[in-house]
Amino acid sequence: MTSTDLISIHDLPEGEVHEIFAVARDVKAFPERYSGALNQKTLAMLFEKPSLRTRVTFEAGMTQLGGHAIYLAQDVGLGKRESVRDIAKNLERWVDGIMCRTFAHKTVTDMALHAGIPVINGLTDLLHPCQALADYLTLIEKFGDLRGRKIAYVGDGNNVAHSLMFGAAKLGMEIRVGTPAGYEPNAEIVSSAREDAKRTGGKVEVVRDPFEAVRGVDAVYTDVWASMGQEAEAANRAKVFPPYQVNSKLMAAAAPHAVFLHCLPAHRNDEVTDEVLDGPQSVVFDESENRLHVQKAIMILLMGKR
């Protein structure tokens, strides 16, 4: 892997996306082979947002690879108590990699610009690449080669939707994003994903009708209607998004073998019903587990060569 950071799936050559999956599958199948892969390595984890999956999977992953992770919470004061540049310049002297879970995407890009060590995007308001890579690893486990497969994302055109579009485009898949007017994904992200898709035979569509989005697809994905930082919009969004709820009727429009995905945490019986979330088509906890394996692969590929 020639990339020095993981900020966006869009930045990765297609071969490196497949390399991450190959290493992740090997790590998952043969964890003992990698127990010392990051021996004596340290990952600094910077968090501006609450976390269950991101914190546990990165910290457990580092431990299982023979390394160590340091949790740095909001009191670090990214860009407030100390500039992002100065934090990056300090951390590069002490640790071997940085993972950031932040609000502003610029925080992560600035960290990567100024740090001479690998930087991993654990989530920003714009993108969530580690989640999308775990999602597609889950689909690879279910379906094998994903080229030509179809996935629908229904709901808010948020950071998860953006990274899913980039991932689908790199893998030669068709993705349909079904979202109400005013909540579409970022137009620049859509354009960039479509450019990626031209090279792989993939397709990126944005539609209004959730049933049009879901019709005949292999996988149906949703996320919360109001993400972290959008709490003030929650009441209004709760009036707009009910037609986009993933329920048994919407799932029935997908292919019979279709699976259901959600990045979690879920607001049960808002964006998805209990019947679907806990039903036989749901692979949400497989996705959650695969965060660990994908992120271990990313850390091995980025930090193991130092």
Catalytic member of 223, 237, 262, 293: 223
Catalytic: which of 53, 196, 218, 263?
Answer: 263
The H or E element spanning position 23 is helix 14-29
CA distance 181 to 185: 10
3-state secondary structure string, 180-229? Answer: CCCCCCCHHHHHHHHHHHHHHCCEEEEECCHHHHHCCCCEEEECCCCCCC
Report which residue type is found at 104: A
Q: Which residue has the tokens 């609000």?
A: 103
Query: One of 10, 101, 149, 262 is an active-site residue; which one?
Result: 101
Contact 105, 273 (CB under 8 A): no
Whether 131 is catalytic = yes
Helix axes 284-303, 129-143, angle to 10 degrees: 120
Based on the residue annotation, tell me whether 100 is a catalytic residue of this protein. no
- CA atoms within 13 Å, Cβ hemisphere of 183: 25
Residue 156 a catalytic site member:
no
d(CA 256, CA 306): 46
* From 53, 55, 128, 149, the catalytic residue: 128
Output the six-digit token pair for 306.
């130092």
128 is catalytic: yes
Q: Out of 105, 130, 131, 162, which one is annotated catalytic?
A: 131
Residues belonging to the active site? 101, 128, 131, 223, 263, 291
